[in-house]
Amino acid sequence: MHPAAQPADSISLISKVSCRICQSELLPILDFGKMPLANAFLDQKDFEQEYFFNLATGFCSRCFMFQLLEQPAPEKMFHQAYPFYTRSSQRMVEHFKQLAETLKKFLYPGAFLVEMGSNDGTLLENFQGTGIECMGIEPSANVAAEALKRGIPTQIDFFGPQVAAQLAKQSDGADVLVAANCLCHIPDLASVFSGLGLLLKKTGVAVFEDPYLGEVLAKTAYDQIYDEHVFLFSVTSMSEMLSSYGFEIFDLEPQWTHGGSMRYFICRKGQREPSASVAAWLAKESEAGFKTLKPYEEFRKRVEISKVQLLECLENFKRQAVPVAGYAATSKSTTVLNYCGIGPELISFISDTTPDKQGKLTPGSHIPVVPPEIFHQANPKAAVLFAWNHAAEILRKEENFKASGGKWIHFVPKVQID
Ligand code: DWN
């Protein structure tokens, strides 16, 4: 049985309506309704036990954090059968190589680097043979096993004060803690920062990289909202949150990854001079109304329109008896498919390179996931690009699809056929 497919009464659901950072009441923004776990790909025999929760977001008008109202327990999402491997995109492998070069500016032979949410070791492998001591902390045993196979020290665990205290005891403390696409998954940030307080050297640096709320709003990328992403950070909310835990941002760098991310360079309060870009980003967000409900309400309206347009587009293909495929069974696709009510009647199959997903059905929508070879053999006339964040990589490698008359269906930033 899939670890996520447990009887409903055994589920420990964390249900919150108050802000996870400052405990103020959350203002509801968007309710997607009943939603499965984004990465709970399943077999037909598990349908009856499929787990659903209510996917809805709220905004805190006190600390400005955009967050889920409810999130399933971390152990339900991250376990021995978590099917996302960082290595599944070549461009991400290159991105992490470049991130490693950036981190090396804060490191030296003998220094200690800890990665939170180290997945299959794609980032840490860049430090092999450098003399820099590394430790990955990763709760999903199957992806951690890939890192261990490559000789990358990895502890299978959730990061928190206990793990941090144990690492601090075994070292003189960490020079750098890095977490890419990880912090936004963790509901209990108080425990992360209490751990960071124990582990990080006084002058140490933490580097976080997460999908940026500003890009989600600008691109109407509502598919970035799913069970795993409990927070979508802005510079404003990140800065408020860090301040409450004794840390601050000293630099920022926007990234192209995951449709638009932000890299935050963090230190203990007062340890480093913040760069001018910190104040500039805070001012930019303030002008854009990030502390008010307005941009989030406008976002909700655009999301509703996007749903109607995507459904119209797929139903048009169906009326013309043109079968449509999906490209990449991403976590994000679970939100789109279930929110829009798209099933195998509108998308016959989804091509994905991950062996763990192939042969399974998509969460909630139950569309078969097939290897890319089937996509190439079937040569469909149209395909929804679910991994829109990897468009550059995919459109290049799938040139033949378009050359042979195939149409890409995009839905971010808006629904269009190309
Ligand atoms: O935060 C998260 C980000 C970093 O990664 C996690 N919560 C889970 C995951 O999100 P995602 O699944 O939306 O990630 P991607 O990278 O947009 O999609 C990966 C999926 O796409 C994999 O199943 C592999 C597939 N893929 C493919 O089939 N062909 C990807 C590429 C690049 C391809 O060419």
Give 172-225 pLDDT, tens digit per residue: 999 999 999 999 999 999 999 999 999 999 999 999 999 999 999 999 999 999
Mutate to test the pocket of ligand 1, among 84, 92, 225 (most ligand atoms within 8 A of CB): 84
Residue-wise pLDDT tens digits, 349-363: 999 999 999 999 999
Say yes or no: CB of residue 224 within 6 Å of ligand 1. Answer: no
Indicate if the pLDDT at residue 113 is higher than 90: yes
Q: Characterise 411 by phi-psi region: left (phi > 0), alpha (psi -120 to 50), beta (else).
A: alpha
Indicate if the pLDDT at residue 397 is higher than 50: yes
Q: Is the dihedral of CA 263, 269, 270, 276 positive or negative?
A: positive
Amino acid found at 202? K
Q: Which atom of ligand 1 lies nearest, measured to the CA of 332? A: 13
Say yes or no: CB of residue 394 within 6 Å of ligand 1. Answer: yes
Helices 189-199 and 161-169 meet at what angle, rounded to 10?
10
| Residue at token pair 């009856």 | 48
**Encoding tokens for residue 362?**
């998509």
**Encoding tokens for residue 34?**
């009943």
* Count of beta carbons in the 10 Å neighbourhood of residue 140: 22
Say yes or no: CB of residue 54 within 6 Å of ligand 1. Answer: no
Q: Which atom of ligand 1 lies nearest, measured to the CA of 390? A: 32
Mean pLDDT over residues 9-23, rounded?
A: 65
Nearest to residue 60, comparing CAs of 261, 241, 258? 241
Amino acid found at 130? T
Residues 6+ apart with CB under 8 A from 111: 132, 133, 175, 176
Q: How far is the CA of 88 from the centre of ligand 1 (A)?
A: 7
The whole-number pLDDT of residue 8 equals 40
pLDDT level of residue 13 (50, 70, 90 thresholds): very low
Indicate if the pLDDT at residue 7 is higher than 80: no
Q: Which atom of ligand 1 lies nearest, measured to the CA of 394? A: 34
Q: Which atom of ligand 1 lies nearest, measured to the CA of 387? A: 17
Q: Which atom of ligand 1 lies nearest, measured to the CA of 180? A: 4
Query: Would you give the DSSP letter of residue 371?
Result: -
Lowest mean pLDDT among 7-21, 315-329, 352-366, 369-383: 7-21
Say yes or no: CB of residue 261 within 6 Å of ligand 1. Answer: no
Say yes or no: CB of residue 330 within 6 Å of ligand 1. Answer: yes
